[in-house]
Amino acid sequence: MSYANPMRERLRSGGKLLGLWLSTGRPESAEIAALAGYHVVIIDLEHAPGDTDELGHLLRAVQLRGAEPMVRVPWNDQVILKRVLELGARSIMIPMVENRAEAEAAVAACRYPPRGRRGYAAGAIRASNYGFKADYAEHAHEELFLALQVETGAAAARAGEIASVDGCDMVFIGPNDLAGNLGFLERMGEPPVLASIEDAKAKTRAAGKYLGIVPHAGKDATKLAGEGFDFVACGNDVIFLREATRADIAKHAAAYDIKPR
C-alpha cells in the first residue's frame, strides 16, 4: 500500500505548488478550489471558523476533487495535532514555531513511537481507513508532510536550526506576522522585513528543506516561484469573494443606486 504524499512527490520531481487559503470553512468552497486546479487547499483552523467536527468533510471535499488538503492547526499542540491527524490530514502547517525545540516537539507529536509520541488509536480512525490500512501505524510517517511556520524575527534568524530537524519538510515564512513582530505591521515591504525573509530563505535552503510563503511587497506567486519558493499560497476564498462582489456592485451601482464600498 502506498503512503506517498502528493506534495512531496510533486516537489521531488521538480514541480512547484500553488495553494489557496480556505477561510470560509465550507466544503463547497474547498471543492471549488480543488476543481479550479490549485495543487493545495489550506484548511485554516488558526484564523478561520471551523473545528475538527467539520474537518473530515473538508478533507473529503478536497481529496475527491484531486487536490491535497493541508491543515493549518491553531497552535503547536500535541492534542490538536493528534486529532487532526486521526481525521486523515497528512499535510500539516504549524504556526509560530520559534526554535529547534518547538520544531522537534511538533514532529514528535505527529509520529508514533519509537519515532515520536503520537497517541495510538490506529485501528479506529479515518486516517487508517478505519483500520482497513492495517499497516498504517508502521508507515504513517512516510505520508506526513510538515510545514513549520517562521513568523517572528527571532524565528527567522533560527530558520536553519528549525529546518534541520528531521521530519520538518518545509519552512513556511509568514511575512505578515513577521512584519508585525519587527515593528512594521502591514508594511511587508520595509527593508528589515525583506532582509529577514531573505535570511530565513537562505538558511532553509542551506538545510536542504523546501520553502513556502505568501505574496507580499508586490511579489505575486509567479515572481516568488522565480525567486526559488517551492510553495506559494496565493489567494483566499473570502478575499476572492469580497473582490468579485465589489467588482460586480461597481459595475451596476449607477443603474441600481448603490454606493460602492
d(CA 45, CA 48): 6
Torsion of CA 114, 116, 117, 118, to 10 degrees: -110
Q: Is 47 a catalytic residue?
A: yes
Q: How far is CA 52 from CA 59, 61, 238, in A?
A: 11, 15, 20
The residue annotated as part of the active site, out of 39, 47, 57, 216, is: 47
d(CA 123, CA 4): 20
Residue appearing with cell numbers 509560530: 96
d(CA 150, CA 195): 14
d(CA 210, CA 231): 8
Give 105's contacts (C-beta < 8 A, 6+ positions apart).
Answer: 76, 78
In the three-class reduction of DSSP (H, G, I as helix; E, B as strand; rest coil), residue 84 is classed as helix
**Would you name the residues annotated as active-site residues?**
47
